[in-house]
């Protein structure tokens, strides 16, 4: 079975491809460049097309199914409403599937479920990355604020940290917010 993944995110499409390969699907093509999308799909002539919902090329893709010159017209998974829960899960996860008519339902469901879990894993990964990045930036601000306090008030590193922690507790704020306030105040006063 030929599967095409249309996704501008190379990482996410790689994650999805890996999952599909592990599930035993071997004929997988990835399209990351949206120009000439329709021509590429005509050439590949897939049985299943997977596309992420942030992709504005969905409208272009659907136009293709309106054209009479293609023999095999893929249809959206939504046409068959027998499994509303898994359709809803896929829309929420951000992936959509188009399938040529006549494909066995069980096989579609397994592909769809796989897409959902891989897409969700990818967003979790992204969230974690974003959190790690913001933690790192927070730590940098705390270090800068500590340095400013040590210099301005002639404190040790430990004393500077305790001073910020005390202020955070009194004002019911996070220590990183106190640190950022110190850094921006210092920039204004410079």
Q: In the bound complex, what is the minimum distance in angstroms from residue 53's beta carbon to another protein?
A: 5
Would you state the torsion angle of the CA atoms of residues 185, 133, 115, 43, taken in this order, to the nearest 10 degrees?
90
Binding mask 84-103 for another protein (x = CB under 8 A): x--xx--xx---x-------
A 10 A CB-CB count for 101 gives: 10
Q: Which CB, 13 or 96, lies closer to another protein?
A: 96
Question: Is beta strand 2-6 parallel, antiparallel or unpaired with respect to 95-100?
Answer: unpaired
Instruction: Report the interhelical angle of 105-153 vs 84-93 (nearest 10°).
Output: 30
Residue 33 binds to another protein (criterion: CB under 8 A) = no
Q: Quick one: CA dihedral 41, 47, 49, 50, positive or negative?
A: negative
Among 26, 66, 82, 154, binds another protein (CB under 8 A): 66
Q: Token pair of 144, please? A: 């800068």
Residue 63 binds to another protein (criterion: CB under 8 A) = yes
Q: In the bound complex, what is the minimum distance in angstroms from residue 111's beta carbon to another protein?
A: 17
What are the residues binding another protein (CB under 8 A)? 35, 38, 53-63, 65-66, 68, 75-76, 78-79, 81, 84, 87-88, 91-92, 96
């Amino acid at each position: 079975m030929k599967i095409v993944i249309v996704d501008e995110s190379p990482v996410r499409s790689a994650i999805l491809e890996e999952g599909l390969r592990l599930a035993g699907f071997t004929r997988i093509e990835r399209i990351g460049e949206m120009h000439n999308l329709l021509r590429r799909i005509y050439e590949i002539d897939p049985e299943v097309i997977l596309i992420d919902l942030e992709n504005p090329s969905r409208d272009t893709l659907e136009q293709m199914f309106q054209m009479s010159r293609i023999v095999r017209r893929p249809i959206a998974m939504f046409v068959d409403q027998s499994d509303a829960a898994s359709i809803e899960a896929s829309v929420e996860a951000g992936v959509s599937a188009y399938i040529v008519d006549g494909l066995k339902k069980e096989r579609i469901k397994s592909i769809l479920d796989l897409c959902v879990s891989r897409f969700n894993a990818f967003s979790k990964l992204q969230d974690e990355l974003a959190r790690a990045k913001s933690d790192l930036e927070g730590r940098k601000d705390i270090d800068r604020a500590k340095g400013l306090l040590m210099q301005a008030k002639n404190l040790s590193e430990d004393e500077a940290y305790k001073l910020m922690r005390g202020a955070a507790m009194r004002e019911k704020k996070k220590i990183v917010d106190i640190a950022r306030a110190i850094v921006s105040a210092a920039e204004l006063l410079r």
